[in-house]
Amino acid sequence: MNTSPRNLLASISIAAATALTPLTSQAQEPVRIAFMDPLSGSFASIGTSGLRQIEYAAEYFFNSRGGILGGRPIEIVPLDNKQSPTETQLQFQRAVSEGIRIIFQGNSSAVANTLSSTISRHNRRNPGQEVLQINYSAVDPALTEEECSFWHFRFDAHAIMKLEVLTDYIAMNEDIKSVYIIGQDYSFGQVVADTSIAMLQEKRPDIEIVGNEFHPIGQVKDFTPYVTKIVASGADAVITGNFGADMVSLARSIIDSGLRIPIYTFYAAYDGITATLGEDAKGLVYLVHNETSNPIPTEERKEFIRGFKAANPDKDVTQPRIYNALRMVVEAIEESGSTDPYDIALALEDRRHTTLSGEEIWMRGDDHQIFQSLHISVHTDEGVEFDADNSGWGLFSEFHVPAEETIRETSCRMRRPRR
Amino acid sequence: MLEVFIFATLNGLVTGLLLFMLASGLTLIFSMMGVLNFAHASFYMLGAYFAYSISSYLGFWTGLLVAPVVAGFCGALVERYGLRHVHKHGHVAELVFTFGLAFLIEEIVQFLWGRDTKNYQQPELLDFPLFTLFGQEFSAYRGFMIFISVAIFIGLYYTLTRSRIGIIIQAAITHPHTVANLGHNVPLIFMGVFGVGSALAGVAGVIAGPVLTTFPGMAIVLGSIVFVIVVIGGLGSLAGAFVASLLIGLLQSYAIASDVGMPDLLDLIGVSFERSHPLNDLWTLTLPQIAPILPFLLLVLVLIFRPTGLLGKREE
Amino acid sequence: MLTRLIPWIGFTAALLILPLLFDSILAISVLNQMAIAIVFALAYNMLLGQGGMLSFGHAVYFGLGGFMAVHALIMIEYETVYFSVTLIPLVGGLFGLLAAIFIGSFSTRKAGTVFAMISLGIGELIAASSLIFVDFFGGEAGVSGDRTFGPLFFGVDFAQNVEVYYLAAFWVLVATLFMYLFTQTPAGRMANAVRDNPERAEFIGYSARRVRFISFCASGLFAGIAGGLFAMNYEFLTEENLNAATSGRVLLMAYIGGLGYFIGPIVGAVVLTLMNSLLSNYTELWMLYLGIMFVLTVMFLPRGFAGFIMMHQMAWYHGKLRSLFIPYLITGLPALIAVLGVVALIELAHTQEELLHFLGIPLSPSSAISWVVVITVTAVAVNATRRSLGQLKKAWEFANEAAMGTRE
């Protein structure tokens, strides 16, 4: 090592400058990330739950440990889009006007699609002011297939991937000879129906599809008439992509009518649904989802959940994919050393990340789709260390499919921006 | 096939009678004051939420007794301090007021109870199947719903036609000034009728809450259907409301239960279209798909061909 | 003649200057929203305020016009047709007119409750149908387009929002002008007459039904123009632009603004847009406040905000408007504090946080002091307001009575 006086002086200067840097205001400027979801209106409980989860994650993983990029805290900016595509546009304008470049969004594929086209248009018309879309929950396959975009990243397995696992699980059950499909009459419900039928046909050609029913979203108050048809059809199982009030009503009607057959769903837990299902649905309601539920595999994840419950007693950690996404985005920021969406996007592509559960998940660069293990959990009170809705009931994971087995081809032809 | 029909009829009956409980209160209020109360379904929601809270501490049956009273009381207050004040500004103002009230009550409910779905459970006493037919159970709770609805209808009928107060109310509907001249306190009667109408809506909420789920949007979901019923049945006619409620309840139930649709109709004529046809959505339409909008279709048809409704009185 | 032109000149000037004063992206976006709302609310008022027809399903014409406009944008993009996007609002208007002609042919036979109920039924029907007929309406995700195609308009391709604003401002001016002129035509005047006394109108030879039909169609035309403006601004349309909530919102706007005055809906549209876009960023409970404000307006200000302003006309004629300034202050200040106090109470009761920053004042729901302070301040303010009402009443009477020797 060369210890001439000039080099020593240089070293001391550099050391002093580095030590003093955190004290300058530039380094303290927060990294602002918008969280856009319904925070008022009928879907508010899901939106606010997600907001609490991302705020807690930002604090737990980053802000309490000194921030990111050399001391900058993460600031989560809530944007209430009331689950309305129109409002989404307005809130997007607001985010842009405040210089926010990263937007998290998840509820409603319709909104996600709108946001994606809005962002594509905006990015195309305003080079240098691009915005990044972090989709943590909208599972319409189109978003990473025919409608894929360089500026959109999805952090949940899409509907077809989940149905692959769900139909595998159903196929394993020899007792099921007939299936009734019922769903909401829109793109997602139709994808669920068409895909389930095709997949079951392939895996268990002996299973008969005895019903394929569509109902308008949020309009049906009493599902008993539909249940009558299910009973009359003699179905051994029901598949549905319903969520929210539609899911509760359907499950309750099935249970009320004494029908004791398994119901395979995407979203039949948390946000009041578990509490409503209660005892009557024990062992009958199944969900396909990412991030295994009880038993929680690692102490780190348990600690996170306990901490969250302590801070938000009436909420649950319903969507671990939110903090997975946040952590991956931050890793991309740290690696690229920049908060510019273009750099972050490049760093996110083909990124691998180890989750709190100890699993490695992978963000594919071709279509910006995440691949992770998928699980089937059942509604029960046995072995449920962490319950839902403080009800004593919760999800117990019975069936696991590792990430590699969920990978599929994509039809995405992504137009990459020139930089 | 038969089982589907029987259960569809039973389901339609339950729904229809529930709708009638709501429609009867609305009809009474309309007959009395000439205003269609947009906030009527809101008292239904309030009934359900009050019952939920009460039943969490004191059980379902206490809720059944107390919640409608509270809802009725709220209704009376609304009439006394709100509607009466707005009355002098005209019919449009009254309608708009009740419209704003419906909106406000929904917000207040979300403020007080939160935005999520409430876990309002049926009473354990009725948690058994009343009978089982063709493998499907008909729960005792639904039987209870039918029982209460019919009991209320009978009670209402007898009160209005046989009791003294009922006669006075009927008179006050058509000749308020004369009744006032006879020394009766007509404003008090108005307030009472509004309160009772709201209490009726509250009862509907108490018993429907566990079945139709208790959530902040429950008023909107039923509200418009109840309006349709009242108008189809004929504004101001209780019997009309009864007929229309059952008609709509059964119609929707049968529509959903059937598997009939445009494809069958086209087959009958011997016509078929390609999937890529611009009106493909129309050709693949099925009856269950349009079941929720049948009431509105019926409304428009009735209003075009018989504007006074099925059993309505002549236009003034 | 010139005095009548002054409001129009002022309006045009405001439209031109506003985007220069408020030029942030968010502000332009809010201004665009206001423009759309103004045209829609004015169109609605043609029906309700001027024609006396209460419609619960007016969003249908707004939405149908908008959907057609988006499809026109798509056709321009794929070069099926070729015309400037500046005409898109007109496309929306024409389609809205068509829909109004079709539906009005049977729905305007009767006025009053029957009309209101038909409009409700039609509104629900079409909104529900929009989810079934996916080809035209696009299902849940709606239909989206791109406004930057087609021939350039003096070199502008409308990629920027502010360019859309000036287009919208132009159409707002044109639409407002025509709607105002309509009220001055025989058709418009007869609409007023039929609203007030249909029987009498028939006696002087006008068919009440015909008049209603004309009003209805005109209203549908302008609602469709508003829908077209919406399509230009947002570049997509969904089922929610047809539904009862949208119909309800325009009713709110027209009513809060004031039905009986031409500028009423303009006021209502501006106020509601501001509440919708800005207030929601400060509190979760903004819809609750909106509901309260609506109900209170219906109860105590039945003529709306515009009506409230117009109430002072008499005082202005007498030149005594000045004299009301101090009395309003004396009542207004404690009233404002009382309102803020109630809002603070509601926010305190609702908040999940430990600390609430209310207008910069830190309050805590767990601290008894916060509660006591807020309640006391509110109570004092309410009391002060009540006691000051007497002097306000006196001042009002003074301002409104005829001065000696002046015209009455």
Which residue type, as a one-letter code, is found at position A194?
Answer: D
Does residue C405 form part of some domain?
no
CB contact under 8 A, B136 and A229: no
Of A215, A258, A272, nearest to B136 by CB-CB distance is A258
Average of per-residue pLDDT across B120-147: 82
Quick: pLDDT tens for A68-84.
Answer: 988 899 999 999 887 78
State the residue for tokens 């905000």: C305
**For the residues of C63-106, what is the DSSP string, one character each?**
HHHHHHHHHHHHHHHTTSS---GGGHHHHHHHHHHHHHHHHHHH
pLDDT at position B162 is 86
C60 & C209 share domain: yes
In angstroms, the CA B131 to CA B137 distance is 6
Q: Between A200 and C135, name the one with better pLDDT.
A: A200
Give C248 to chain B, closest Cα distance, Å: 9
Nearest chain B residue (CA) to C110: B307
Indicate whether A21 pLDDT > 60: no
User: ipTM score of the complex?
Assistant: 0.85
Q: Between B23 and A87, name the one with better pLDDT.
A: B23
In angstroms, the CA C174 to CA B54 distance is 58
C321 & C278 share domain: no
CB contact under 8 A, B116 and A228: no
pTM of the model: 0.85
Which of A51, A82, A114, A135 to mutate against chain C (most C CBs within 10 Å)? A114
Quick: pLDDT tens for A80-121.
Answer: 887 788 888 888 988 998 899 999 999 888 889 889 999 998
Residue A59 DSSP SS3? helix
Average pLDDT, chain C: 87
Q: How far is CA C319 from CA C307, C312, C322, C403, in A?
A: 19, 10, 8, 9
Q: What percent of chain A has pLDDT over 90?
A: 55
CB contact under 8 A, B299 and C117: yes
The pLDDT confidence band at residue C112, using thresholds 50, 70 and 90, is confident
C244 & C386 share domain: no
CATH architecture of B2-305: Orthogonal Bundle (1.10)
| Domain boundary assignment for chain B | 2-305
C386 & C259 share domain: no
Inter-chain CB pairs, A–B, below 8 Å: 109
Indicate whether A10 pLDDT > 60: no
C279 & C374 share domain: no
SS (H, E, C) A186-211: CHHHHHHHHHHHHHHHHHCCCCEEEE
Indicate whether A25 pLDDT > 50: no
Indicate whether B218 pLDDT > 80: yes
Domain A29-157+299-372 sits in CATH 3.40.50.2300:
yes
SS (H, E, C) A14-58: HHHHHHHHHHCHHHHCCEEEEEEECCCCCCHHHHHHHHHHHHHHH
Residues of C with CB below 8 A from B248's CB? none
Using CB atoms, which chains have 3+ pairs under 8 A with A? B, C
CB contact under 8 A, C240 and A85: yes
Is the Cα torsion angle A87, A90, A94, A96 positive or negative in sign?
positive
Residues of A with CB below 8 A from B119's CB? 272, 275-276, 278, 389, 391
Average of per-residue pLDDT across A275-281: 81
pLDDT at position A22 is 44
Residues of B with CB below 8 A from A252's CB? 211, 213
Indicate whether A11 pLDDT > 60: no
The pLDDT confidence band at residue B1, using thresholds 50, 70 and 90, is confident
Q: How far is CA A226 from CA B2, B5, C297, in A?
A: 15, 12, 44
Does residue C307 form part of some domain?
no
pLDDT at position C32 is 92
C149 & C180 share domain: yes
Residue B247 DSSP SS3? helix
Q: Between B65 and A272, name the one with better pLDDT.
A: B65
Domain A160-295+373-405 fold is Rossmann fold (3.40.50)
C341 & C200 share domain: no
Does residue C197 form part of some domain?
yes
In angstroms, the CA C61 to CA B304 distance is 20
Tokens representing residue C248 in the block: 């309800």
C274 & C335 share domain: no
Does residue C23 form part of some domain?
yes
**For the residues of A225-254, what is the DSSP string, one character each?**
HHHHHHHHHT-SEEE----HHHHHHHHHHH
- Domain extent at residue C380: 312-400
| Domain boundary assignment for chain A | 29-157+299-372, 160-295+373-405
- Percentage helix, strand, coil, to 5, in chain C? 75, 5, 20
Pick the most confident of A93-102, B256-265, C282-291, C361-370. A93-102
Nearest chain B residue (CA) to C126: B293
In angstroms, the CA B100 to CA B103 distance is 5
C258 & C196 share domain: yes
CB contact under 8 A, A41 and C160: no
Inter-chain CB pairs, B–C, below 8 Å: 108
pLDDT at position C320 is 76
Of C122, C255, C292, nearest to B96 by CB-CB distance is C255
pLDDT at position C88 is 92
Closest CA to A178 of A94, A238, A102: A238
CB atoms within 10 A of CB B161: 10
Residues of A with CB below 8 A from C26's CB? 93-94, 97-98
Average pLDDT, chain B: 85
C208 & C155 share domain: yes
C278 & C328 share domain: no
Quick: pLDDT tens for B243-287.
Answer: 999 999 999 888 888 878 877 878 888 877 776 776 777 777 888
The pLDDT confidence band at residue A3, using thresholds 50, 70 and 90, is very low
Q: Is A257 exposed, middle or buried (0-12, 13-18, 19+ CB in 10 A)?
A: buried
Average of per-residue pLDDT across C252-256: 90
Query: Which of the residue ranges A29-38, A389-398, C85-94, C355-364 would you say has the lowest mean pLDDT?
Result: C355-364
Which are the contacts of A280, defined by CB distance < 8 A and separation ≥ 6?
A: A255
Using CB atoms, which chains have 3+ pairs under 8 A with B? A, C
Which of A87, A92, A94 to mutate against chain C (most C CBs within 10 Å)? A94
In angstroms, the CA B164 to CA C278 distance is 56
Which of B96, B224, B294 to mutate against chain C (most C CBs within 10 Å)? B96
Which are the contacts of A205, defined by CB distance < 8 A and separation ≥ 6?
A: none
C285 & C316 share domain: no
Give A175 to chain C, closest Cα distance, Å: 36
CATH of the domain at C24: 1.10.3470
Give A395's strand partners.
A379
pLDDT at position A328 is 95
Query: CB distance from B282 to chain C under 8 Å?
Result: yes
State the residue for tokens 């996916």: C134
Query: Which of the residue ranges B190-204, C306-320, C351-365 would you say has the lowest mean pLDDT?
Result: C351-365
Domain count, chain C: 2
Give B96 to chain A, closest Cα distance, Å: 21
Segment 184-243 of chain C within 8 Å of chain B by CB: none
CB contact under 8 A, A278 and B116: no
Residues of C with CB below 8 A from B228's CB? 117, 120-121
Quick: pLDDT tens for A247-276.
Answer: 878 887 887 777 888 999 999 888 778 887
Tokens representing residue A135 in the block: 């989709």
Output DSSP code: residue A406.
Answer: G
pLDDT at position A20 is 47
Does residue C55 form part of some domain?
yes
pLDDT at position A23 is 43
Of B15, B116, B212, nearest to A272 by CB-CB distance is B116
Residues of C with CB below 8 A from B110's CB? 288
pLDDT at position B314 is 52
